[in-house]
Structure 1
Amino acid sequence: MTHKQLIQKLEQTSDEGVETGLDSPPPVKAISEHPFAKFIGILSNSEATEIQRAITADCSQIDRTEW
């Protein structure tokens, strides 16, 4: 679908329909074709939070004398 076609479709859709469409997840095809799709759902929320904390703590600090 081109940009113009999408705009035309949105103009023909009711406000409620647009809001519903924006709240919907992307089509399954788009998700399944993503290169990282095989990793969806492999971490629990607590594991993901732990990884985010580690990245924030370790990657936000730069040791300029290391190299």
Structure 2
Amino acid sequence: MGETSLHYVIIDIGTVGTIDTSGITMLEEVQKNVDRKGLKLVIANPRSKVIKKLAKSKFTKKIGKEWV
């Protein structure tokens, strides 16, 4: 396999007003797949309501606060 220049997977959730447990579970699955490939998941433009729910679910701790 050749070397890839891909380092990040960026998901822009700026239009997401709120998130529920199924949405958080989906992000966790994406994060696992991204990790397996040696990439970094970045969550871009989350609204404060979404940030609070991601923090409460400990998702931000899993990927690192600097990546949200």
Confirm or deny a common fold (TM above 0.5).
Answer: no
More strand per residue: 2
More helix per residue: 1
Q: Which has the larger radius of gyration?
A: 1
Structure of greater relative contact order (alpha carbons < 8 Å, 6+ residues apart): 2
TM-score computed with the length of structure 2 as normaliser: 0.27
